[in-house]
Structure 1
Amino acid sequence: MSYAMLFPGQGSQAVGMLSGHTDPIIRATFDEAAQALGWDLARLVAEGPEAELNQTARTQPALLAAGIAVWRLWQARQLPAPVALAGHSLGEYTALVAAGSLDFGDALRLVELRGQLMQAAVPAGVGGMAAVVGLDDAAVEAFCAEYAGEGVLEPANYNAPGQVVVAGNVPALEWLEREGKAHGARMVVRLAMSVPSHCSLMREAADRLAERLAQTPVNAPAIPVRHNLDGQVRVDADGIRQALREQLYRPVRWATTIAQLKGEGVGTFLECGPGKVLVGLNKRIAKDAVSFALEDAEGVDKAAAAVKA
């Protein structure tokens, strides 16, 4: 059975994540991550505090480590490899580690820096993100284009049909909330994110991240990785570095990525990491596909049985 492995991004973190796994691979991976980073990632994941785990510079390496821990546990089953990998936003780095394109330690330090740069680019309280539900992509784009006030308002995540996340400055997001129903949106929901990811406010952060990326070894992926920019595969180091740079200030084309994989015959998707966010989105993008979350041992067992079938 051909299947794709998907890695979640920010929003999937929680204190105690992956506690449904008892395999020592999980703790060993967290400990390895702690050595690479110089702080106790395993303790933070297990005990919190939640406020610290939710700091972008902590969230990103914690989620990357969680995704790789589950990936290693999955590999230990010696099952057929996925035909493709993809990751939502931060999850793209996890996918590249799983594919052998980035070293685990290098990637952890990269995403820690990525989080620091994102936090520094837009001070807390200045920017954020909101989900627009009930409008198609073109309608959301037109809605954002109508904003005539100060600041930025741009589509950031094309997550699924009828769900687009918008990023920008707080006054622009407040306008979006006020005008939502008049523009046909079923709802506009502010997200618990102080960093406006995947919009032009992150351009400077992307340029600074590119300096570190230029110094980071990048290999050709052993498994094709679909990139957020366009759902396409890249195999050359410079192309991968450029995609990671642009990903920070351009929209995540998640619905396009999943639809392309489905159109190429992929009928099963596995979410590799904590939570079920991507499984939920898949129900709206590829309704007749089968999706499994590997967030606990039971999920891994069910997915393994399906892949073997």
Structure 2
Amino acid sequence: MTKLAFLFPGQGSQYVGMGKALYELFPIAKETFQEANETLGFDLTHLIFEGSKEDLTLTANAQPAILTASVAAYRVMRQTFDLQPSILTGHSLGEITALTCAEAISFSDAVAIVRKRGLYMQEAAGVDAGKMAAISGVSIETIEQACRSAMINGGSVVISNYNAPDQIVISGDSVSVTEVSEFLGKNGAIVVPLRVSAPFHSPLMHPAAEKLRAELSQYTYSPLKFPVISNVTATTYTDHSEIIETLSAQMTSPVRWVESMNYLVDQGIDTVVEIGPQAVLRNLMGRIDKNVFAFAYDKQEDVEKLRTRFASKEAAVPTLSSKYTVLTRCLAIAVCTKNHNTSIDAYEKGVVVPYRSIMQLQLELESVGAQPTLAQCKEALTMLHSVFVTKLTTVDEQKERFEQVLIETSTQLLLGDFITELLQLEGIEVHG
């Protein structure tokens, strides 16, 4: 039987527009973003969807933004997929997201905490005074020696993240990180500067850690509904009473991600799903243990793979109802189809409005335990066609997706001709 873990990303995964599709299509996602706005007292949603990359990258903004987008995605996923995780964990900031989704921290408290956490980190180093860089292609010993040499010469730079066997992150003051990066680059390393604005998980974060400990002491915590792995210990919390000290220590301690993922495997986890922006943790898992199935909920192709993997699992039925229907498949595919259209008005008319209409119809059918009629199936297919046209989906992908609906719902004979008519409205030639 599949044993599942949910992973939540940390800072560096942010991008302008993250979570917008979920916000527009799922009321629970919209409520999540609005709750974050109310907690912070400013329009975080506008910053995430319409702000500049530079503003979003600032630590004090990026942390509540990523947490909000991740919790919104988690809530949507739990609504639309019947998946029960065995363990939750997150990378740095993502550990707080994991604790939130495990209901140890309320969402509004978590938003306030990570906003302060980001501000404290920013203040500890000063804007642009600290850096981080991912290093691969050289041994850990070489990286450690380079950091020690910089420290001897008066700099401050340490290993801050053990992300994968072949990827280490260094953190410290800007000058030292730059010097170590250049030295390692000349010795065969691949160096990737990270999109962060403070030197996380380094001694420079000690003042921030002390302030965070005082801040965390003002909140109330609850027993964890799911086990959560700590970055500091690379094992699960034994009790929610550990949250204050563990999250404070995390600020100056390295993220032991490789050990954390190995712990998951030791617990029998064979599938992980990254929930939040990007696919960083999914990709790292591929470098840590290739035997673990890894998916990223932010990636359309992974959502479909996830559906396929769990389609026949008794414990996990990845649809809005207990069975595949034309409506549930059309709704799911509409959400995960990538948008190439920048027109807000067109998106509202061609995607949001028809999607909400079919979603409402699906909820009404579920409330009485009814199956959709042939006419209602055609309404759903018409909605999906509108989504494809509006999102500027390619002809080949349209055909593939429609065929997927027919096969998965066994309605080829009933609805094949109707789909042909829809496609021919665009002048698309359809072959049998």
| Structure 1 residue 109 displacement after superposition | 0.2
List gaps (5 residues or longer) in structure 2.
314-432
Select between 239-248 and 290-299 the one with higher mean Cα deviation: 290-299
Q: Deviations over 1:128-181 (max 9, x none)?
A: 111111134344223312222222110011110111010011221122123214
Matched, 1:88 2:106: no
Matching of residues 182-261 of structure 1 within 5 Å: 184-261=187-264
- Aligned partner of 1:101 in structure 2 is 104
Select between 145-154 and 264-273 the one with higher mean Cα deviation: 145-154
| Structure 1 residue 40 displacement after superposition | 1.0
Inter-partner Cα distance in structure 1 for 2:197 and 2:20: 27
Instruction: Point out the structure with the larger helix share.
Output: 2
User: CA separation of 1:190/1:262 partners in 2, compared to 1, >3 Å: closer, same or farther?
Assistant: same
| Structure 1 residue 298 displacement after superposition | 5.7
Q: Secondary structure, in 3 states, of the residue corresponding to 1:292?
A: strand
User: CA separation of 1:106/1:138 partners in 2, compared to 1, >3 Å: closer, same or farther?
Assistant: same
- Aligned partner of 1:5 in structure 2 is 6
Letter in 1 for 2:175: P
| Structure 1 residue 263 displacement after superposition | 2.6
| Contact 2:69 2:277 (8 Å CA) reproduced | yes
Q: Percent identity?
A: 37
| Structure 1 residue 230 displacement after superposition | 2.1
Letter in 2 for 1:202: M
Letter in 2 for 1:188: V
Matched, 1:154 2:155: no
2:274 to 255, 271, 274: 271
User: CA separation of 1:297/1:31 partners in 2, compared to 1, >3 Å: closer, same or farther?
Assistant: farther
User: CA separation of 1:133/1:3 partners in 2, compared to 1, >3 Å: closer, same or farther?
Assistant: same
Inter-partner Cα distance in structure 2 for 1:97 and 1:32: 14
User: CA separation of 1:142/1:110 partners in 2, compared to 1, >3 Å: closer, same or farther?
Assistant: same
Matching of residues 29-44 of structure 1 within 5 Å: 29-44=32-47
Instruction: Point out the structure with the larger strand share.
Output: 1
Report 1 or 2 for greater relative contact order, CA contacts < 8 Å, sequence distance ≥ 6: 1
- Aligned partner of 1:70 in structure 2 is 73
User: CA separation of 1:41/1:299 partners in 2, compared to 1, >3 Å: closer, same or farther?
Assistant: farther
| Contact 1:101 1:219 (8 Å CA) reproduced | yes
List gaps (5 residues or longer) in structure 1.
none
Q: Deviations over 1:60-108 (max 9, x none)?
A: 0111011110111111136241010000010011000000110100010
- Aligned partner of 1:180 in structure 2 is 184
TM-score scaled by structure 1?
0.94
Q: Secondary structure, in 3 states, of the residue corresponding to 2:99?
A: helix
Select between 126-135 and 239-248 the one with higher mean Cα deviation: 126-135
Select between 117-126 and 5-14 the one with higher mean Cα deviation: 117-126
| Contact 2:99 2:105 (8 Å CA) reproduced | yes
Q: Deviations over 1:243-276 (max 9, x none)?
A: 1001111101111111211232211110001111
Letter in 2 for 1:166: I
TM-score scaled by structure 2?
0.68
Inter-partner Cα distance in structure 1 for 2:185 and 2:56: 34
User: CA separation of 1:40/1:254 partners in 2, compared to 1, >3 Å: closer, same or farther?
Assistant: same
| Contact 1:151 1:172 (8 Å CA) reproduced | yes
- Aligned partner of 1:121 in structure 2 is 124
Q: Secondary structure, in 3 states, of the residue corresponding to 2:80?
A: coil
Q: Deviations over 1:265-305 (max 9, x none)?
A: 21111000111111111110111211111115664453244
